[in-house]
Amino acid sequence: MRAIFLKKSENLKNGDILNIDGDRAHHLLKAVRIKLGEYLLIFNGSGLKITAKVSEVKRRELNLDILEVSHESRQTPLLDIAFCLPKKNALDEILKISVELGLNTITPLFSEYSSRYDLNKERIDRLLESALIQSNNPFLPIMNKGRDLKALDSLCRDYDRAFYFSSIKKVNGSITFQNEVEKVLLIIGPEGGLSGLEEDFIENIDNVNTVHLPTPILRAPHALATSVGYLLGLFQK
């Protein structure tokens, strides 16, 4: 079902009529070519999910009848990602994939071999919102400011488990979950790899497990998708 992102929609209730105008109406009418009688989903990024029906179409605006309002809950365990900043086009992919896979928090890291550039908040917000609409995910991930790789030491203390995924570093052993976990952090290095000192630093953080991905070297977006799939498979066991 087609969807729109409407941040301030928490006061809508069954039976209300919502007027859409401006750029959002132009997009729906000209790009999406929404028609009278079609159904739409409305998300605010915080779990609100609204089903609406197009009841009136004008030249530059349309009205929606609010049919059903519900509040979704995030599934546990919550999955967060901390990744060394890649090139800008790879960052765009990571942001979209993070929404599609239902990640909770995104934290860019600066390492010796990572890219370094200013993060454009407006552009990031647009990418996240676009991915939310495409995937019908009722939740937007929280985008943190970039921080130095050394911040991982304190960051990992907030998690039940943390996993550093690498297609280069080979380790033995398997991962098991003795107790139920609620918050999990995925750590992904830069596409150029971590320095030896950085590898040692991560591996000596108390609750970090190194996971070897038996693949050739992956681009950061593919490493993210593969790592999340790996963990989701474990959680289903």
pLDDT at 235: 79
- What is the pTM for the complete model shown? 0.88
26 pLDDT higher than 90 = no
222 pLDDT higher than 70 = yes
Q: Which domains are assigned to the chain?
A: 3-71 (2.40.240.20), 78-235 (3.40.1280.10)
Measured on CA atoms in the order 179, 184, 188, 189, is the torsion positive or negative? negative
Between β-strands 78-84 and 183-188, what pairing exists: parallel, antiparallel or unpaired? parallel
176 pLDDT higher than 70 = no
163 pLDDT higher than 70 = yes
More confident residue, 170 or 37: 37
C-alpha span between 228 and 223 (Å, rounded): 9
Q: 3-state DSSP helix/strand/coil percent for the chain, to nearest 5?
A: 30, 30, 40
Interval 204-218: pLDDT, tens:
998 898 888 888 888
Q: What is the mean pLDDT of residues 86-102?
A: 96
φ/ψ of residue 178, rounded to 5: -70, -35
Q: Omega into 214 within 30° of 0, i.e. cis?
A: no
171 pLDDT higher than 80 = no
C-alpha span between 77 and 12 (Å, rounded): 30
Interval 34-91: pLDDT, tens:
899 999 999 999 999 999 999 999 888 999 999 999 999 998 889 999 999 999 999 9
Q: What is the mean pLDDT of residues 142-154?
A: 95
112 pLDDT higher than 70 = yes
189 pLDDT higher than 60 = yes
Q: What percent of the chain has pLDDT over 70?
A: 95
CB distance 39 to 51 below 8 Å: yes
Local confidence band at 22 (pLDDT 50, 70, 90 cut-offs)? confident
